[in-house]
A and B are shown apart, each in its own frame.
Chain A
Amino acid sequence: MPDEMEEIISEFITEAEESLDRIEPLFVELEQKGHDADMLNDIFRSMHTIKGAAGFLGFQSIVDVAHSSENIMKKLRDGEITLSKRLMDVILKAIDMLRLLLEHLREKDGIEEDVAPLTQELENVLKESLSGSPDGGVTVETREKEKDETSRPQDDNAVSNGEPAPSHGDETQRHGEEDNAEKPGEPAQVHKDTSHKAKEAAQNLRVDVERIDKVMDLAGEMVLIRNRLLNISHYFDLNYSSDTQTETLMEAVSFLDRVTSDMQLAVMKIRMQPIQKVFSKFPRLVRDISASVNKKVEIEIYGEGTEVDKSVIEHIGDPMTHILRNSIDHGIESPEERIAKGKPEKGKIVVNTYQKGNQIVIEITDDGKGIDIEKLKEKAVEKGMLTEEEASKMSDEAAVNIIFMPGFSTKETATELSGRGVGMDVVNNNISLLNGYVEVSTQKDKGSTFRICIPLTLAIIQALMVEVAGIKYAIPLSPIEETLKISKDEVDNITGQDVIVIRNKVCPLFELNGILGTGSNGGHDRDHKYVVVISLGEKKFCLAVDKLLGQEEVVIKTLEGIDTASSYVLGASITGDGKIVFILDVTAMSRSLVEAT
């Protein structure tokens, strides 16, 4: 039984948090839209449900907070009071408190919060709203009503309260089906809106993440074994093609090949969740931040249904929050400034998410003043990160991405808000952890766009196998634009940097050999070179390798104890022939190679 109880509690925590996640953005929407009975009822019901379950589990603080909030929601829903900023602030505070209480339960830290001041505040605000003036003037009747309502949970605990239905003779009485079926606060539309969702939820199953990850791991292992089998079957095909069993083997292996790919995709999809989970926090966040810096900002979110891997959900929140803070703090101008520029008083941030090939793209665009590129360059020179010459040669596209360079803190200009010890380089690092990259483009007085690109899945990727100095490496396929075979004469040298010209565009060329320090093994002497063209956002560079071996699916195994950024190794994988190969981190390469050019 204790285990069962523990499971119920953990389910309660998850479910209650999900409810809060769902209703929180509704508040901000309400604040903009004004009264909306459907939304109010939705919030009311969630509070009500959380209260009910918490009551069973004996979480009195949660019951108290949810109860006071529910009271307010009910009065709002029924139109007895109207939503004010003060009311909203207090309710949001209550939601924060509920989250905190749930967190304590999850951590089992035994910390108790004193919720009395909050419930008192909730009640006071409700009284103020009912009386229509903040300084008392509450009628006796209202006060009694309040008292009655707040004391109810205690009454509910009393077993005797639930008397059997008074007259059983009444039970046989039936009223018309239609009359009274809908309560006044619940227009028919609510039903319509939620019916689809409810149907979807009905077929959902809650599964422990560990179990899914186990399946994911096994699927990864299967990919490796499949790759080995493919190799072996090719060998048989070449050497024993006359044997009828070889054909059977080939058939079986190719079937296994197909099934493995399908399974991999299916497992990947289990881990995918709509990015909405992260985005639902943003309206509130934007509201709070913009209020604290006296700016007016609205946020529009598109593509929140886009599905991404669970680990993306877990890690994208912080960097995105930081970008949003940055946009509100530094990007969007004050209302006065905006009016003077002939812009609408209210700034706008648009978050757009979509899938592009095997990547997820998240764009955060503000309509603020843009990033001052000259200032950025100045500061980079000041900090010794660039020489004056480098700075003056640097294109605007490249220069604006200086903000992501490690050590380029915006501390001097940062206000208290975005200067919380997290610079843009941390944003970059967080996103690199997801094998993604971030870039920014900006236009003076038009605004800036941060674009985050992340591969769809993290565990299994398509890679190009290359060979350098007799060693095999895997390069993730998604940033590879093309591969070329060039002759030695096509390589030019501009101020010490090898370059090649691809369709009239100059592109820096690096010997992979040199980067990895594996020693030169004749790559220079050959007449021809194989070149892998890497494109990461605005940055483009070429890697020269000895051989191109072809495409393979690799399962990324992370390596402990290796500084991936300085060794340019993302992880390792086992290939079809059973050997271990390193997977190269081209994002890290681009950062240290290209930014310096």
Chain B
Amino acid sequence: MSDLNIKILVVDDFSTMRRIVKNLLRQLGYINIEEAEDGAQAYSKLKNGGFGFVVSDWNMPNMDGLALLKKMRSDEELKDIPVLMVTAEAEKDKVVTAIQAGVNNYIVKPFTGEVLKEKIDKIFEKIGK
């Protein structure tokens, strides 16, 4: 079980989606959740520090989820923050690209709270927290 006080950043350009994901996270007991509208905004929020986990949509204007991931992984301060990528397309090649870019896990929408929990638990199990 991961720390419920961990600060989570939810990144999606569609505000309804942010709200849905936030709601699911809250149902799982997470209380410290912030939002960003795209990769660029997420990056600057992340740079302000304090975040322990990112749930990001893939397809966004401005800076998409993959670009954000790559930028994070090349940033000394952010490279260790786990990222869960949300995608509607289960296309294999895309997933592989994300894995190569250093994503910790991915989740296909629509998903339920249980699946989300499963994914998060797996991530934190793996990185040993």
Contact = CB atoms under 8 A, between A and B. Distances in A.
Interface of A: 4, 8, 11-12, 15-16, 19, 42, 45, 48-53, 55-57, 152, 155-157, 159, 161-162, 164-168, 170-175, 177, 180-182, 186, 190-191, 194-195, 197-199, 201-202, 206
A173 B17 CA distance: 30
Contact of A194 (B23, B61, B97): B61
A56 B110 contact: yes
B106 interface: yes
Interface string B81-101: 000000010100001010111
A45 B102 contact: no
Contact of B122 (A51, A164, A174, A186): A164
Contacts of A56: 17, 20, 109-110
Contacts, number: 123
Nearest to B94: A183
The A interface, classified by DSSP as helix, strand, loop or mixed, is helix
A164 B17 contact: no
9 pairs of A and B residues whose beta carbons are closest in the complex: A55-B110, A194-B61, A12-B16, A56-B110, A49-B14, A198-B62, A53-B16, A162-B108, A52-B88
B33 interface: no
Nearest to A152: B90
A45 B12 CA distance: 12
A52 B108 CA distance: 10
B62 A194 contact: yes
A147 B82 CA distance: 36
B101 A202 contact: no
Given A48-B88, A181-B66, A194-B61, A8 B20 contact: yes
A52 B38 contact: no
18 contacts: A15-B14, A19-B14, A45-B59, A48-B88, A51-B88, A52-B57, A53-B20, A56-B109, A57-B20, A156-B108, A162-B90, A162-B108, A173-B102, A181-B66, A181-B70, A195-B40, A198-B13, A199-B41
B111 to A, nearest CB: 7
A173 B105 CA distance: 14
A165 B110 contact: no
B107 A162 contact: yes
B129 interface: no
Contacts of B5: none
Contact of B70 (A11, A156, A171, A177): A177
A165 B88 CA distance: 16
Interface of B: 13-17, 19-20, 23, 37-38, 40-41, 57, 59-64, 66-67, 70-71, 73-74, 88, 90, 95, 97, 99-112, 114-115, 119, 122, 126
Main secondary structure on B side of the interface with A? mixed
A263 to B, nearest CB: 29
B60 to A, nearest CB: 8
Contact of A171 (B14, B17, B41, B102): B102
A56, A173, A199: which has the most chain B beta carbons within 10 Å?
A56
A173 B100 contact: yes
Contacts of A19: 14
Contact of B67 (A11, A12, A52, A181): A181
User: For A165, A168, A201, which residue has the most chain B Cβ atoms within 10 angstroms?
Assistant: A165
A197 B60 CA distance: 13
A1 B59 CA distance: 29
A16 B126 CA distance: 37
B78 to A, nearest CB: 13
B103 A171 contact: yes
Given A168-B126, A202-B37, A162 B119 contact: yes
A346 B59 CA distance: 39
A198 B38 contact: yes
A49 B115 contact: no
A48 B100 contact: no
B119 to A, nearest CB: 7
Tell me which of B57, B61, B100, B108 has the highest count of chain A C-beta atoms within 10 A of its own C-beta.
B61
A8 B106 contact: no
A591 to B, nearest CB: 46
B74 A177 contact: yes
Contacts of B62: 191, 194-195, 198
Nearest to B67: A181
B13 to A, nearest CB: 7
